[in-house]
Amino acid sequence: MENFEKKEQLNQLFDLYQNLLTDKQKAYFKYSFYDDYSLQEIADIFDVSEMLFMIN
């Protein structure tokens, strides 16, 4: 799957299912997908380890 198609699919899935996510999960996705933050940067923002971030 091409990069553009993958992004479009993720965007559609997020739009469809975002109401099922917690506020923290939505923020994680937005930082990662829309703002292009690394996992470590997001973990730093939420003051958690990168491993804990990946579990959430």
Could you give the CA distance from residue 20 to residue 49 in angstroms, rounded to a whole number? 24
Which pLDDT belongs to residue 51? 73
- Fold of the 3-55 domain: Arc Repressor Mutant, subunit A (1.10.10)
Closest CA to 31 of 5, 3, 48: 48
Domain residue ranges in the chain: 3-55
- What is the C-alpha to C-alpha distance for residues 5 and 18, in angstroms, rounded to an integer? 19
Give the model's confidence band at 2: pLDDT under 50 very low, under 70 low, under 90 confident, else very high: confident
**pLDDT for position 6:** 86
pLDDT tens readout for residues 7-54: 899 999 999 999 999 999 999 999 999 999 998 899 899 888 877 666
Q: What is the mean pLDDT of residues 2-7?
A: 84
pLDDT at 36: 92
For residues 43 and 25, give the distance between their C-alpha atoms in angstroms, rounded to a whole number: 12
Residue with tokens 């699919």: 9
